[in-house]
Chains A and B, each alone.
Chain A
Amino acid sequence: MRTEARIPPEIAWLDLCSMAQVQLLPRDLELPLDLRLPRVGAVDSVALEARAGELAKRSIKRGSKLAALDLAIRMMDLTTLEGADTPGKVSALCAKAMRPDPADPSIPSVAAVCVYPNLVAVAKRRLAGSGVRVASVATAFPSGQSPIDVKLADVREAVVLGADEIDMVIDRGAFLSGRYAKVVDEIVRVKEACGSTHLKVILETGELGTYDNVRRASLLAIAAGADFIKTSTGKISPAATLPVTLCMLEVIRDVHDETGRIIGMKPAGGIRTAKQAIQYLCVLNETLGAAWMTPEVFRFGASSLLNDVLMQIRKQKTGIYQSGDYFTLD
């Protein structure tokens, strides 16, 4: 087990461009960044928000709405991340994840259940054989304010307990003070600790302040080995927004153009209604296209979205809105 930092933290990282020159990064790392400035690129907030606003106004009806809602369920990481979580609550959530609507067997199961490391084993047992994966948050979630050894231990433990996917948080303190190397180094080592386990990197965009920062953090996370980039922990407001998601999807698109790598995206937090979910799918569909319209590379991190989606599906199928009492609260 190595604990020494691979990149001397005292190196002054003036900007992202200089990153590409540094030989200290792992050799097999595919850097989407090189010395051509536009490839790091900037984001214009006014135009970005205008585009997101335009896509949010897409009018999705009938069959295309049902298809979207079905996909939204299959893309869902059903989440509970509370201090008050118990094995019983997680068990109930798992039941819901596998069979979201007991009254309608055509409803698919969700993509994954997302819990704290302590509850991974419970979830794993409960979901065995269902195809629903277990995602665990780690690296001193949600603040990330712990020594690297603690974070790595957190990750290894979650992996040993059976997590299929790890959702880590980046060190925002390091990022915001310009210590990009530390951020990269941590992600690289977490990725190592994950082994073959899928790694989602949470940027906590609500703390990053600008879309330029979101773009840079996305590129850093991808360069360091993220399989997915994720907006938020859900513990900070604002969590996921349409413009921030669009911004990250544009990074994913650029990385794919440059390297051919396919990176996944997970907006999380604040997505509560079927209407919002459809707006995200419109942004995804018109930014990255059909290849990304699959749970393999797009997830919703949500706790209360599922019931609204179920309600809308029932409305589409029967023409009648049911009261909330007809959908289970878990």
Chain B
Amino acid sequence: MADLEKTKVPTPAPLDWEYAPAPESRDIVRFQERYGLFVGGEQVEPLSGEWYSTIEPANEEHLAEIAQAREDDVDRAVQAARDAFENGWSKLPGSERAKYIFRIARILLERSREFAVAESLNSGKPIRESRDVDVPIAAAHFFYYAGWADKLEYAFPNRRPQPLGVAGQIIPWNFPLLMLAWKIAPAIACGNTVVLKPSHTTPLTALLFADVCRQAGLPPGVVNIVTGDGRTGAAMVRHPGIDKIAFTGSTGVGKEIQRTIAGTGKRLTLELGGKAANIVFDDCALDQAVEGIINGIYFNQGEVCCAGSRLLVQESIYEQALSKLKRRMSTLRVGDPLDKNTDVGAINSREQLERIEELVESGREEGAEIFQTECTLPDRGFWFPPTVFTNVAQSYRIAQEEIFGPVLSVLTFRTPEEAVEKANNTAYGLSAGVWTEKGSRILWMAERLRAGVVWGNTFNRFDPASPFGGYKESGFGREGGRHGLEAYLRFE
């Protein structure tokens, strides 16, 4: 019976499947040729008369002209903020303030695609991230703090919370819109007015946000946005009319700010660098831990202050973990930030790229073993391939200094005690991750890790309800949650 023989099928060649480019349309966002400062509810020309060009880090193309604010520009913004504070905003019932903030949150969501594209263009981060992380969490922060605006008395019973006045807020370039939300939402919910300075390299979403404030009918002067480089920030820090400085950025600048305002009575919160340990125990769910390692260090090109840049792996699974990690790294898609399938985008600026290159070079020289994925990087723009260093000693610069790029250093440990010791052996203390199936061990570790955030079986998760901030050189003060309100209130 010939027809009962097993059917023979010629073995077809497996499909080597390449994803075709899937770029998000950039037409949804239209930038002005030139952006002035947002002061007192309108765009004004800078008194300095100076402008600079902001670019697209993925290809170094010019995007728009941005005002370079001088001391008198900052002064004008502070005046506007002071006026708004004295003449209304601080006296408005919390429930009224909440209405504006809810409105801002809704508008952000309505315009989320526009903001996502703008963010990716100006910062170099993949659209997948700006679409799924930055913009939705930014909106969530406004929703969250809108809810607190009329409940401050309940958040701090019997302490009679009062706003501080004018808050000067300086934010970094790694999460331009998200950091803006972290700063502005709690400040205005508590009845303060703000002068915000976005990073020199990534001002565009903040300037689009100015338009959201107008659209929401926010009273003029409650939110003011000044742009410029470090000189603008320094002018804010020195300005006597500012009651509180909130800064997110490098530890060096943070220390300088603290020196400058010493003795002035200005309040200060600092969210600075980090060198987080991601600690992987041998009983973890390994494939998911590898995802967590990837997400910990290659999320946003590693340009994350809480990035899991030091991987501590238990010795017994070192080889298995490393081989899984390298294989997973090779599937990361590096390239056009606007392509919906891109996992790792462009480095934000030439300056940052040079810093990453310098530190990676030091790692090679000190004797660490380097592994980089094979990927073709575009000719123009600022790019760095996902990188991992093994054979790293605790004393190497790559294990000590914040790289702020897609570079992971791997160390091993044998016992939980040793893991804690190595994890804490850093000048920073912003975050840490623990991977184990043993719940009790997560708690044991969390008690001993000197880090503001300890993630259990996850990494780089942000929620408006959860406070975030550092120990040691990672700064002080907390953002997010009820704790985040305290940074913008005084108590009678």
A-side interface residues toward B, CB under 8 Å? 36-38, 41-44, 46-48, 50-51, 57-65, 67-68, 71, 74, 111, 124-125, 127-128, 131-134, 161-162, 164, 196-197, 250, 257, 281, 285-286, 290-296
Contact = CB atoms under 8 A, between A and B. Distances in A.
Contacts of A63: 20
B9 A64 contact: no
B324 to A, nearest CB: 8
A162 B4 contact: yes
Nearest to B5: A162
A290 B15 contact: yes
Contact of B14 (A38, A47, A132, A292): A292
Contacts of B16: 290, 293
A59 B13 CA distance: 24
Contacts of B19: 58-61, 64
Contacts of A134: 7
B418 interface: no
Given A57-B128, A67-B15, A290-B14, A250 B287 contact: yes
B285 A294 contact: no
A292 B13 CA distance: 10
16 contacts: A38-B283, A44-B285, A44-B457, A46-B458, A47-B288, A51-B288, A51-B291, A57-B128, A60-B22, A61-B20, A71-B15, A131-B9, A134-B7, A292-B14, A294-B13, A296-B12
Contacts of B282: 37-38
Nearest to A294: B14
B395 interface: no
Interface stretch (B181-189, B315-323, B401-409): B315-323
Given A38-B284, A294-B15, 18 more contacts: A41-B287, A42-B283, A43-B288, A46-B458, A47-B457, A57-B340, A59-B340, A60-B19, A61-B19, A61-B20, A64-B17, A67-B15, A68-B15, A124-B4, A125-B3, A132-B7, A134-B7, A164-B6
Contacts of B12: 74, 294-296
A47 B294 CA distance: 12
Given A290-B16, A292-B14, A133 B437 contact: no
Contacts, number: 119
B21 interface: yes
Nearest to A48: B288
B331 interface: yes
Interface string B288-318: 1101100000000000000000000000110
Nearest to B340: A59
A281 B22 CA distance: 17
Nearest to B18: A64
Interface in B14-69: 14-22
A43 B285 contact: yes
A59 B341 contact: yes
Contacts of A74: 12
Interface string B431-465: 00000010000000000000000000110000000
A162 B340 contact: no
Task: Rank and list the top 9 A-B pairs by shortest CB-CB distance, nearest first.
Answer: A47-B288, A59-B22, A44-B285, A44-B288, A59-B340, A293-B15, A162-B4, A294-B14, A42-B285
B283 A37 contact: yes
Contacts of B344: none
Contacts of A162: 3-4
Interface in B323-361: 323, 331, 340-341
B14 A291 contact: yes
Contacts of A296: 11-12
A133 B457 contact: no
B286 interface: yes
B286 A68 contact: no
